[in-house]
Amino acid sequence: TNFIASPASMALAHGKSKTTILKFDSEEDVAVALAKYTADLSEKYIREKGSISVVLSGGTLIDTMRKLVESPYKESVDWSKWLIFWVDERVVPLTSDDSNYKLAYDGFLSKVPIPSSNIYAINDKLSPEGAAKDYEARLKHLVVSKIIPLSNASGFPKFDLMLLGMGPDGHVASLFPNRPQRYEKKRWVTFITDSPKPPPPRITFTFPVINSSSDIAMVVTGAELADTVNIALGDGLPPDSIPLPSMEVSPEGELKWFLDKDAASKLK
Ligand SMILES: O=C1O[C@H](COP(=O)(O)O)[C@@H](O)[C@H](O)[C@H]1O
């Protein structure tokens, strides 16, 4: 079961994006709905443009994507047309348990036939600054090769689908409330060496790139996120407060929040 909040009222809260809040009875129901949403968008983008660029997060998201690697989607999705990127990555070896690549590989990528040449992991031999510059340079190459388009509106690369999580402090990607990276307006990919959530060295897409995407799913489950969800989607913050990073997610296309009952429990 789910309810859909008024898209119009949410559009006010989130600037330009059409925003929908989907609330489900359980995390299992979120996983089922997220798989259908992702498979439907895969079919749509592959039909319209021949491929789909999918940008992953780390954290709980990968487990919540588990239904996508089961029947019927495992067989029906055209995995050969998927391009995989990371909205943020920890600058650790790709074999480390802290790596978002390893998390995605173990829980998702190893279970479906996405060509390895379509999977854009970071270069884990570089410094945080070097890895961010390298990832941005590789994105620029994909733009020149016409594999990733630029947004006509922003001039930043335009990804089809971003699957984002949110931390209890309201962070998305590795854009944290009290760190300057969230205000970056020029770079496509930046780095942080003092992430408040370990491990400290990370790279991250910037907001101009995140908000140039076509579709974004914010996937948030668990009671520990209820207060933050209520700030982002319900009561907001006192006037003149600095918004949480999650409140600044506003893609060019549609934003859909996938919440389980616990995460939505403080919303009125
Ligand atoms: O550190 C990170 O945290 C966020 C949120 O993770 P979650 O476990 O609360 O879902 C995640 O989206 C990001 O990719 C990751 O690097």
Would you list the DSSP string of 13-71? HTTTSEEEEEEESSHHHHHHHHHHHHHHHHHHHHHHHS-EEEEE--TTHHHHTGGGGST
- Rg of the chain over Cα atoms, rounded to whole angstroms, equals 17
CA distance 263 to 226: 4
Sequence-distant (≥ 6) Cβ neighbours of residue 27 within 8 angstroms: 64, 221, 222, 260, 262
Return the pLDDT at 40.
Answer: 98
Distance CA 54, CA 62 (A): 13
Give the number of the atom of ligand 1 that is nearest the alpha carbon of residue 165.
12
User: Edge to edge, what strands does the sheet with 189-192 contain?
Assistant: 88-90, 202-205, 189-192
How many angstroms separate the first and last alpha carbons of the chain? 17
For residue 222 and ligand 1, the question of a CB distance below 6 A is answered with no
**Protein residue closest via CA to atom 6 of ligand 1:** 59
Q: Is 197 in the pocket of ligand 1 (CB under 6 A)?
A: yes
Q: What is the largest CA-CA distance in the chain?
A: 50
Q: How far apart are CA 100 and CA 250, in angstroms?
A: 23
Ligand 1 atom index nearest CA of 225: 9
pTM: 0.95
Q: Name which residue sits closest to atom 12 of ligand 1, judged by CA.
A: 165
Output the CA 144–ligand 1 centroid distance in Å.
30
> Would the CB of 167 count as within 6 Å of ligand 1?
yes
pLDDT at 5: 53
Residue nearest to atom 15 of ligand 1 (CA): 58
Neighbours of 260 (CB within 10 A): 23
pLDDT of res. 17 = 85
Q: pLDDT tens per residue, the chain (268 residues)?
A: 455 554 444 444 455 689 999 999 999 999 999 999 999 999 999 999 999 999 999 999 999 999 999 999 999 999 999 999 999 999 999 999 999 999 999 999 999 999 999 999 999 999 999 999 999 999 999 999 999 999 999 999 999 999 999 999 999 999 999 999 999 999 999 999 999 999 999 999 999 999 999 999 999 999 999 999 999 999 999 999 999 999 999 999 999 999 999 999 999 8
Whether 213 is in the pocket of ligand 1, judged by its Cβ within 6 Å, is no
Q: Which of 96, 103, 166 to mutate to test the pocket of ligand 1 (most atoms within 8 A of CB)?
A: 166
Closest CA to 162 of 236, 94, 214: 214
Q: Is the CB of 252 under 6 A from ligand 1?
A: no
> How many whole angstroms separate alpha carbon 187 and alpha carbon 195?
18
User: How many other C-beta atoms lie within 10 A of the C-beta of residue 137?
Assistant: 12
Instruction: Classify domain 2-243+253-260 at the CATH topology level.
Output: Rossmann fold (3.40.50)
Which value does ipTM take for this structure? 0.97
